[in-house]
């Protein structure tokens, strides 16, 4: 056990760990947030129920034959930014493990439904490129969930907000290194716990996320681990998870980011990795009707996130 841990996770699984994601009931083991509700009280709506989530879609059509790889070509320059179909040489499979951060705005029926919708559409995005993804959930024991919730609340109220001068300055003010280091240490502890439970790629649905030392607190992909944070602001950013998964799958190891896939190198406006919001922006972004850049696809199939994807020859069937 490390002696520099921020969080004290259990070493044994105690029956918890990586399990199939269930949509039959609210997120297993995630306590419903009973206080500090950030949203105004409102009546329950039918579309708050994740069980009512529609089937995955690709550009408005339900998936029957998902393999329909359409690309743009914008690396190193905008060679051909008109979407065009190309066959691929292999079909890849992988598993993504989701985690609803306890006490976050995602940690209720409405938030869970939003998370599932984003997972569905992002998985559908990859399915058209013959990258077929399964979903698991990380379940922790009640003590660990309470610990996470209490730590985040204390860090947010007593460390982050005073350091930046209040919530209105989030994303625009530099966060002191020691405040960032505490957050990253806690997320590193969570990643270590998840890895011990056989999790390869962890996607955390959380209120705020710090990647490296950026002040933006936006959804992002940790450069030294297979960990993605999807923030509450980005609940209105369709396909933001697909964007982050391109970064993850382009890695050659958890701490070895790719080239094309990591640095947003495509010059095509409709590439899934092309993001227009500037550093510090706290606004959602719509990534609908986007495509993989062909060079991103090549790097993904070569690197496979290190061990996140397994690929076999055969490719996508022609329509």
Arithmetic mean of pLDDT over the chain: 81
**Around Cβ 10, how many Cβ atoms within 10 Å?**
14
Tell me what the mean pLDDT of segment 168-197 comes to: 89
Q: Is 307 inside a domain boundary?
A: yes
Phi, psi of 19 (to 5 degrees): -135, 160
pLDDT value at position 11?
Answer: 64
Which residues have C-beta within 8 Å of that of residue 121, sequence separation ≥ 6? 56, 57, 238, 239, 242
pLDDT in tens, 42-58: 333 333 333 333 333 33
Cα distance between residue 151 and residue 141, in whole Å: 16
Q: Is 62 inside a domain boundary?
A: yes
Does 244 have pLDDT greater than 90? Answer: yes
> Domain of 234?
52-313
Please choose, from the candidates 71, 25, 77, the residue with its C-alpha nearest in 3D space to the C-alpha of residue 51. 25
Tell me what the mean pLDDT of segment 82-93 comes to: 90
pLDDT in tens, 249-258: 999 999 999 9
Cα distance between residue 89 and residue 315, in whole Å: 4
Structural domains in the chain (count): 1
Would the CA dihedral through 292, 263, 243, 78 be positive or negative? negative
Residue 8's pLDDT band (boundaries 50, 70, 90)?
Answer: confident
pLDDT value at position 23?
Answer: 45
pLDDT value at position 32?
Answer: 32
pLDDT value at position 171?
Answer: 79
Residue 174's pLDDT band (boundaries 50, 70, 90)?
Answer: confident
Q: Is 37 inside a domain boundary?
A: no
pLDDT value at position 170?
Answer: 84
Token pair 């007593």 is found at 158
Please choose, from the candidates 195, 189, 190, the residue with its C-alpha nearest in 3D space to the C-alpha of residue 306. 195
Which residues have C-beta within 8 Å of that of residue 144, sequence separation ≥ 6? 9, 10, 193
pLDDT in tens, 202-240: 999 999 998 766 666 789 999 999 999 999 999 999 999
Q: Is 5 inside a domain boundary?
A: no
Q: Is 29 inside a domain boundary?
A: no
pLDDT in tens, 149-159: 999 999 999 99
Does 122 have pLDDT greater than 90? Answer: yes
pLDDT value at position 89?
Answer: 77
Cα distance between residue 79 and residue 222, in whole Å: 30
Q: Is 19 inside a domain boundary?
A: no
Does 166 have pLDDT greater than 80? Answer: yes
pLDDT value at position 117?
Answer: 93
Instruction: Please state which of the ranges 57-71, 78-92, 189-203, 266-280 shows the lowest mean pLDDT.
Output: 57-71
More confident call, 212 vs 170: 170
Find out whether 312 and 131 touch, Cβ atoms under 8 Å. Answer: no
Q: Is 12 inside a domain boundary?
A: no
Does 12 have pLDDT greater than 70? Answer: no
Q: Is 17 inside a domain boundary?
A: no
The 3 state secondary structure assigned to 81-133 is EEEEECCCCEEEEEEEEEEECCCCCCCCHHHHHHHHHHHHHHHHHHHCCCEEE
Does 80 have pLDDT greater than 90? Answer: yes
Residue 60's pLDDT band (boundaries 50, 70, 90)?
Answer: very low
pLDDT value at position 24?
Answer: 41
Tell me what the mean pLDDT of segment 3-27 comes to: 59
More confident call, 248 vs 170: 248
Share above pLDDT 90 across residues of the chain, in percent, rounded to a whole number: 61
Residue 30's pLDDT band (boundaries 50, 70, 90)?
Answer: very low
Does 10 have pLDDT greater than 80? Answer: no
Tell me what the mean pLDDT of segment 122-151 comes to: 93
Does 2 have pLDDT greater than 60? Answer: no
């Amino acid at each position: 056990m490390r002696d520099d841990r921020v969080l004290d996770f259990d070493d044994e699984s105690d029956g918890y760990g990586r399990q199939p994601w269930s949509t039959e009931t609210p997120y297993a083991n995630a306590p419903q947030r009973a206080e500090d509700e950030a949203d105004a009280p409102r009546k329950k709506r039918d579309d708050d129920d994740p069980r009512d989530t529609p089937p995955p879609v690709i550009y408005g059509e339900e998936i029957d034959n998902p393999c329909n790889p359409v690309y743009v070509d914008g690396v190193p320059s905008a060679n051909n930014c008109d979407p065009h179909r190309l066959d691929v040489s292999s079909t890849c499979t992988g598993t993504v493990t989701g985690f609803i951060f306890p006490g976050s705005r995602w940690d209720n029926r409405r938030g869970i439904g939003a998370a599932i919708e984003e997972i569905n559409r992002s998985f559908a995005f990859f399915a058209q490129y013959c990258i077929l993804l399964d979903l698991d959930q990380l379940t922790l024991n009640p003590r660990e969930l309470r610990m996470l919730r209490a730590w985040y609340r204390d860090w947010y109220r007593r460390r982050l907000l005073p350091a930046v001068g209040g919530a209105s300055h989030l994303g625009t003010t530099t966060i002191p290194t020691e405040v960032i280091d505490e957050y990253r240490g806690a997320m590193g502890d969570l990643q270590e716990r998840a890895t011990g439970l056989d999790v390869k790629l962890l996607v955390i649905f959380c209120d705020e996320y710090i990647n490296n030392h950026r002040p933006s607190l936006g959804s992002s992909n940790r450069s030294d681990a297979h960990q993605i944070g999807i923030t509450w602001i980005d609940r209105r950013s369709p396909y933001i998870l697909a964007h982050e998964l391109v970064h993850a799958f382009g890695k050659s190891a958890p701490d070895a980011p790719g080239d094309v896939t990591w640095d947003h190198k495509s010059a095509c406006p409709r590439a899934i990795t092309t993001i227009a919001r500037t550093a510090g922006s706290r606004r959602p972004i719509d990534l609908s009707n986007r495509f993989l850049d062909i060079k991103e696809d090549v790097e993904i199939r070569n690197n496979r996130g290190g061990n996140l994807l397994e690929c076999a020859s055969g490719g996508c069937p022609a329509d």
